[in-house]
Chain A
Amino acid sequence: MRANRIAVFLRGCARLVSRGGRWYFAWLALLGAMIATGVAGYARQASHGLIATNMRDQVSWAFYIGNFTFLVGVAAAAVLLVVPAYVYAWKPIKEVVVLGEMLAVSALVMCLLFILVDTGSPQNMWHIFPLLGTPNFPSSLLVWDAIVLNGYLVINVTVVAHILYRLFNGKSYDKRVVVPLVLLSIPWAVGIHTVTAFLYNGMASRPYWNASILAPRFLASAFCSGPAILLVLFQVLRKTTGFPISDEAISKIAEIMSYAMFVNLFLLGAEVFKEFYSATEHSVYTRYLFFGLHGHHAIVAFAWIAVSCSFLAFLLFVVPATRRNIYTLNLGCALIFAGVYIEKGIGLVIPGMTPDTLGEIYEYTPTATEWMVAAGVFGVGFLVYTLLVKIAVPILDGRFQAGMEVPLEAAPEAKPAH
């Protein structure tokens, strides 16, 4: 009986994702092309080895791991947005929870894929599993990261699936299941980003990472980038599906982001002061990032772009007039995304390893293969989110339940956006 109902639910989901307008399928085709590109890139990498990337012994982690780190922040912050949704009692709290957790699920899928493509011998990956393999617990932070990321994935999938399944069957979700899990997911979100920060932080060999300010900086920047993505998504969904989120809630999120960005910039300033005032040998990494070293400048421009983007976004979000204006708001979101993407990607990983532990400077830039593989991973992540939204929105607003026909692609045009 229950299995039957689950089968009905899954068939309903399949019907939802298999129908849509021209733009929906065009979008899916684009994602399909991205994924195909990624598969081609990965096939090349798998046959030649990681020499298909520009990583070398000097810079042994790079673009893949940078993307991984950025996306852990997205996954964490998407769920942390649930806190203001409760505090300010936004009306679409259920929708904010589901959309945030779905974003976390998609980001986690990308995180795990980026780790997988960075691994030299993925066929040995099972050695990390308990019982089967020999996980180095509790000593290895990568084992911790595997535990918290997979645990977080399970929590978020459970909450989303539960809410949607109940609504699909015309019932409200079970508070005894959802509330504890959502409450658990909030500290867990802090946990995944802290553990990821500790992965770098624990390396005494790399002074650039071995600073206790690293985990707080991770959290502060995540509180900027995660909501930036959700803000844009909320607006898109409000336009296309009539998702009921008010302008006030949006500007509240923007306000929270401005505080987060202030903390982020403050922590950056604290690090910059310490590095340049004390000017020890350990400051070479920060010097390489912002000014270059011994004539090597590969990432200097990116570093300044990142700082400028973050600072401009802070100004746009801290001034009430510009965070209420829809254009400057979205500009601010784009700037934050760019700023944090650079800061937590190449800005974190590359200077950590340049110069290397014996003082050598190897200037890293990603190869075409790395771009292709990354495009594929992002394609998978966007596809997961697209399909989840396609399923979730009609169920959340009650247009699709067990026994119903698949609803129209979008909410009626006449319906006011808010």
Chain B
Amino acid sequence: MSAETRSLPVVQEEGIPGEPPEAAVSRRAFLQTVAGAGAAAALAACDVDSALRRHFKELSKEEVARLVEKVKRDHEARFGKKDWQVTARSPMPGVEFGYGLDLSRCIGCRRCVYACVRENNQSRHPQVQWIKVLEMDKVRGVDVIESDAYYEADAVPRPGKFYMPVQCHQCRHPPCTKVCPVQATWTEPDGITVVDYDWCIGCRCCMAACPYGARRFNWAAPGIGAGEVNPHIAVLGNRVRPKGVVEKCTFCIQRTREGRYPACVEICPVGARKFGNLLDPQSEIRYVLENKRVFIFKEELATRPRFYYFYAT
């Protein structure tokens, strides 16, 4: 295990306190680290299989394993031999992820934006970014109409401005999953709203419905160089997307379900980003919610986000 892997686990490896260990183990997700080539050979000739496969939630454990194999083969075919780690971990019981962003700390450097692009295999050509940082006037407060997402500055923060990064709010009442005509997007028990990229029809209802501008469409086939691709991928997360489907922030599902922080949290140079388990009273996110002044973006829409803005100072 590298040092990176141990960056402050958000769940205990031993399972959830108060839960029988065998239950925790049986419901514990399986990590399918792809190594053996036996299954791959058996599945060499079933691309039709993926086009005709059933909804992700209807797949059996074995079918998910086959899908994981297939995703690995597809990536290897496109990007070549790498240390591919393809996962389809289930949510961990007793975990509901929450996110806090300290508006008084954020300096608008956009390191989170680019760390997210690298981690989550967003398209470089054309550019896709899951996080958008808005520059706002201090005297106007949070006023999106007057905000600027394309600020160019020699140095940040600029005088008189503050910065508000926006990404998926992982709502408890998500308007996006409600409108999807084919249930291609849904909220997992740990609070992460995911997209089944093979199931999405690309109608973009969810993009119209999202009040946070958090969803991105693959207007063209994603352009990513073999040297740029992150080989640690989750099937419902950062695997390279096909053309014509919607994608979004998953709280770095490939990391957080393994007990690691999202890439944006790790990279933030000023510690403005906090992440943890809302169900764990000892977690940092719970401390933030209970002790700081929290602000819910577009609270009047009753989406009940798991993403909180706060002012620590």
A residues contacting B by CB (< 8 A) are 48-51, 53, 55-58, 60-61, 115, 118-125, 127-128, 133-136, 139-143, 146, 199, 202-206, 281, 284, 352-353, 355-360
Contact = CB atoms under 8 A, between A and B. Distances in A.
Contacts of A206: 208
Nearest to A146: B181
Given A61-B204, A359-B145, A49 B243 contact: yes
A229 B123 CA distance: 45
Interface in B9-60: 51, 55, 58
Nearest to B199: A127
B134 A124 contact: no
B309 to A, nearest CB: 14
Contacts of A203: 175, 179, 208-209
A128 B243 CA distance: 19
A51 to B, nearest CB: 4
B201 A122 contact: yes
8 contacts: A51-B219, A120-B202, A127-B199, A135-B181, A205-B208, A357-B144, A357-B212, A358-B213
Given A49-B243, A353-B208, A360-B149, A124 B179 contact: no
List 3 tightest A-B contacts by C-beta distance, closest first: A120-B202, A120-B244, A205-B211
A49 B126 CA distance: 12
A357 B179 CA distance: 17
Contact of A51 (B126, B143, B179, B181): B126
Nearest to B202: A120
Secondary structure at the B interface, as helix, strand, loop or mixed, is loop
A120 B217 contact: yes
A284 B217 contact: no
A357 B213 contact: yes
Contacts of B217: 50, 57, 60, 120
B202 A136 contact: no
B220 to A, nearest CB: 4
A358 B208 contact: no
B201 A128 contact: yes
Given A49-B218, A120-B218, A142 B126 contact: no
A140 B179 contact: yes
Contacts of A357: 144, 210-213
Given A55-B219, A206-B208, A124 B183 contact: no
B124 to A, nearest CB: 14
A119 B220 contact: no
B144 A359 contact: yes
B245 interface: yes
Most chain B CB neighbours (cut-off 10 Å) among A50, A353, A358: A358
Contacts of A360: 149, 213
B200 interface: yes
A203 to B, nearest CB: 5
B181 A56 contact: no
A281 B145 CA distance: 8
B103 to A, nearest CB: 15
A29 to B, nearest CB: 34
B69 to A, nearest CB: 21
A60 B245 contact: no
B220 A118 contact: no
B221 interface: yes
Interface in B140-186: 143-147, 149, 166, 175, 178-184
A60 B215 CA distance: 10
